[in-house]
Structure formats: structure tokens, C-alpha cells
């Protein structure tokens, strides 16, 4: 089960020290996998509260020349460069290095098509990605290598594979490696420094999706509903040319306008998301070591053995933003925990309320063992 922290306390709950205080009644267990409810009737339904419309949008015809696109791209470029190291000779990201898409999956697909146009070679995935990415790569292009856990042992296997292929290949034989930071659902951080060294040695592109870590927190040229090309990469010119050859702005202009409005306070919202998820993880984690608890494990970057790798990618804290560990945690638990969890249920990352979803049952039914 996954908990997707919100930027406000869940409806029907009270905020106490950053933790919604309905956890206490949920976690009391009789040791037989049953929850002993106390204090609140968790079956009570919440009444939907009417949301006030902050800004009402009038219809705007689709137009890629609308200034809102430039505004969003400039905002993303500024977020990438804020609180980031600036060694001598570093080229800063510009708004023209940012490409907008109507969805994350659209961005993933278009980048894959761009790489196929660029090289048309095999790819690799290190660490478990967004599950639709796997299906997309199975459907389009050559085969790919998949190292689902992204552990040091699996990266060693990958390195041996690269060594073997390099002995037989005449020129490049791999186009890209995809990683997530952190991965979903185990929130594991791959050894990206080692991956960078392998990429330099064997001539391939590293693609990092840091949707869960979030742009203000981690230092990456990123892949979300937008793609940012690294102007310091040796592949920058060829990749930008290839991507630009077939790029069209399919992000509907009214969606872009709403996206611009919603992202004006992005730093504040991201900080609250980080804080809420960390408070939940800190509260839940001790129950995983209690044999009588229905919580078996809590996966969260701060609690992971790969936490130092995550910290190595974190930006420095500033007066306007405190870095954190993202808004997602995965709880391995009995179904009774999810059934009685007093938050709204559904899949939406970065919402204003905390949500929970039975991730494995929803997404990985066929892959379950």
C-alpha cells in the first residue's frame, strides 16, 4: 500500500505536530492482524467541502505561441538552477532546454522515440520504474535489459554485461539507461555516480525520472510532464536537434494556464509535501519492528539503506525552501490497515490532501509472486 502525502492535512483529520492524529487508532493491533479501533468511527464518511475557485479561466484557443508556455519553461529552468552547485564553466539551463508534454507518460514515450531516432539501439532500466514505462518499452523499439532492484549487485551484473558487449561491438551498442530517484514502490536510490561513470565509459545516455523526489529537492535534468536537456552533456546538440525535429506542443493551453497558476507557490507546496510524508514515515516506521503490528515494512528514502545516495543528490536548504525526501511512502501491511486507514483513497501524486492506494493490487497484479 502507498501513502501519497498531501500539502494539507487529510479531510476529517486534525494536524498535530505535522502528523494527522488519526494514525493512533489505526495502529493498535491485537496481534492477530486485526485492528482495535479506538476513539473514532473510521467508517464515517467525509462530506465533500466546496472548493472556491481562485481564478476562473475563460476559453482560450489552442496556441503554442501563448506566453504561458514560455512562463512555465522559464519557471522550470529557474527551479533546476536554484540552490545548485555552479562549478567553473557550467552552462545554465535555459527555458529553451525545457519541453512540455500533456502527461508524464507522453514525455516518457516521446523521449524514447527521440532516442530510437537518434540511435535505435537497446536500452536498459536500472531500478523499478513507473510500470507503464516497461510496457511502453516492450511495445516499441529493440529489446531492453531490466535490473528491477537497482542494487549494487545488479549494477555489477550490468557492468559485466557491458564489458561483454563492448568486446564484440563495433561502436555504440546501448542508447540509454533509465533510472528513477527514488524508485517506485521501494523508494530506493540507485548508485547514480557509478551509473555516470559507466555511461562515460560505454557511451550511453542516462535518463533520470525524479518525479517522486521532486524538482526543488533533487538536482537533476529531469523527466516528468516536461523534459529538460542537460546543456553540459556531450550529447546535448544532437539530442536537442533530434527532439526538436518532431516536437509539438500538445499541452492544451487552458491546461497550461492552470498549471502555471498552480505552480506559483510550488516551493511552499513541495516543502509541505516533504514534511507531511516524513512525519508519516517517522511515525509508522517503529511499528514495522513490532511482531504484533499489521505494518510489516515502511519504505521511504530516509529509512532506506540507500539514503546517503539520495542525500548526495539533495539541494542545499535555503531560506525559502527546506529539502526533504519526497511525498511518497510505501507501507507493506495487512489489507485491514488499508481498509481502515482514514484518508481518501486514490492515485494522485502531489494532491492537496493525503491519499492511499493499494499499489500492488492496482498496478502489478500480473507481476505478483
Measured CA to CA, the distance from residue 338 to residue 365 in angstroms comes to 17
Q: Burial letters for 30-63: b for 16+ Cβ neighbours within 10 Å, e otherwise?
A: eeeeebeeeeeeeeeeeeeeeeeeeeeeeeeeee
Measured CA to CA, the distance from residue 302 to residue 324 in angstroms comes to 9
**C-alpha to C-alpha distances, 171 to 111, 202, 235, nearest whole angstrom:** 22, 9, 15
**C-alpha to C-alpha distances, 250 to 6, 137, 225, 253, 256, nearest whole angstrom:** 28, 22, 11, 9, 10
Predicted confidence (pLDDT) per residue in 27-58, tens digit: 333 333 322 323 333 333 233 333 333 333 34
Would you say residue 9 has pLDDT above 70? no
Question: Does the predicted model carry a pTM greater than 0.85?
Answer: no
SS3 139: helix
Among 43-52, 194-203, 349-358, where is mean pLDDT lowest?
43-52
Helices (H), 82-125: 104-118
> What is the mean pLDDT of the segment spanning 129-157?
92
With residues binned 3-state (H G I as helix, E B as strand, rest as coil), the percentages for the chain, rounded to 5, are 40, 15, 45
Measured CA to CA, the distance from residue 246 to residue 175 in angstroms comes to 19
Predicted confidence (pLDDT) per residue in 293-341, tens digit: 999 999 999 999 999 999 999 888 888 898 899 999 999 998 899 999 9
Query: Where do we find the cell 490497515?
Result: 337
- In sign, the C-alpha dihedral spanning 11, 260, 350, 369 is positive
Structural contact between residues 180 and 150, judged by C-beta atoms closer than 8 angstroms = no
Structural contact between residues 24 and 38, judged by C-beta atoms closer than 8 angstroms = yes
Predicted confidence (pLDDT) per residue in 83-108, tens digit: 888 888 889 999 999 999 998 889 99
What one-character-per-residue DSSP string does 338-362 give? HHH--SEES--TT-SS-EEE-HHHH
Nearest to 107 by CA among 234, 228, 236: 228
Q: How far apart are the first and last CA of the chain?
A: 16
The DSSP output letter for 141 is: S
Output the pLDDT for position 329. 94
The DSSP output letter for 91 is: P
Predicted confidence (pLDDT) per residue in 160-193, tens digit: 999 999 999 999 999 999 999 999 889 999 999 9
Q: Residue 134 CA to chain centroid, in angstroms?
A: 15
Q: How many CA atoms lie within 13 A of 309 on its CB side?
A: 20
Output the pLDDT for position 85. 81
Structural domains in the chain, sorted by start = 67-255 (3.40.640.10)
- In sign, the C-alpha dihedral spanning 332, 338, 341, 346 is positive
Amino acid at each position: 500500500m502507498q501513502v501519497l502525502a498531501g500539502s494539507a492535512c487529510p479531510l476529517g483529520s486534525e494536524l498535530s505536530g505535522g502528523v494527522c492524529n488519526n494514525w493512533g487508532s489505526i495502529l493498535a493491533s491485537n496481534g492477530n492482524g486485526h485492528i482495535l479501533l479506538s476513539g473514532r468511527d473510521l467508517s464515517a464518511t467525509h462530506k465533500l467541502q466546496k472548493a472556491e475557485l481562485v481564478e476562473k479561466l475563460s476559453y482560450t484557443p489552442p496556441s503554442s505561441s501563448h506566453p504561458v508556455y514560455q512562463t512555465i519553461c522559464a519557471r522550470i529552468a529557474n527551479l533546476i538552477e536554484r540552490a545548485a552547485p555552479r562549478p567553473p564553466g557550467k552552462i545554465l539551463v535555459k527555458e529553451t532546454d525545457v519541453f512540455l508534454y500533456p502527461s508524464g507518460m507522453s514525455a516518457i514515450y516521446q523521449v524514447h522515440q527521440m532516442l530510437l531516432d537518434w540511435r535505435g539501439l537497446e536500452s536498459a532500466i536500472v531500478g523499478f520504474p513507473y510500470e507503464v514505462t516497461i510496457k511502453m518499452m516492450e511495445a516499441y523499439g529493440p529489446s531492453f535489459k531490466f535490473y528491477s532492484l537497482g542494487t549494487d549487485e545488479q549494477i555489477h551484473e550490468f557492468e559485466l554485461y557491458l564489458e561483454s558487449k563492448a568486446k564484440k561491438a563495433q561502436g555504440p551498442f546501448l542508447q540509454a539507461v533509465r533510472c528513477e530517484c527514488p524508485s517506485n514502490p521501494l523508494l530506493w536510490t540507485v548508485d547514480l555516480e557509478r551509473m555516470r561513470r559507466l555511461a562515460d565509459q560505454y557511451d550511453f545516455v542516462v535518463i533520470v525520472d525524479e518525479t517522486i523526489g521532486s524538482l526543488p529537492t533533487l538536482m537533476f535534468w529531469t523527466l516528468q510532464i516536461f523534459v529538460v536537456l542537460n546543456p553540459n552533456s556531450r550529447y546535448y546538440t544532437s539530442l536537442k536537434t533530434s527532439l526538436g525535429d518532431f516536437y509539438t506542443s500538445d499541452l492544451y493551453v487552458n491546461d497550461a494556464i492552470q498549471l502555471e497558476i498552480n505552480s506559483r507557490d510550488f516551493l511552499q507546496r513541495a516543502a509541505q509535501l516533504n514534511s507531511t510524508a516524513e512525519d508519516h514515515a517517522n511515525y509508522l516506521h517503529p511499528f514495522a519492528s513490532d511482531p504484533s503490528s499489521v505494518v510489516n515494512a515502511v519504505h521511504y528514502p530516509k529509512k532506506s539503506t540507500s539514503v546517503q545516495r539520495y542525500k548526495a543528490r539533495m539541494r542545499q536548504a535555503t531560506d525559502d525552501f527546506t529539502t526533504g525526501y519526497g511525498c511518497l511512502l510505501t507501507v507493506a501491511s495487512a489489507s485491514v490497515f488499508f481498509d481502515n486507514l482514514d484518508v481518501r483513497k486514490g492515485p494522485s501524486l502531489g494532491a492537496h490532501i493525503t491519499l492511499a492506494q493499494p499499489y500492488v493490487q492496482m498496478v502489478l497484479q500480473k507481476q505478483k509472486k
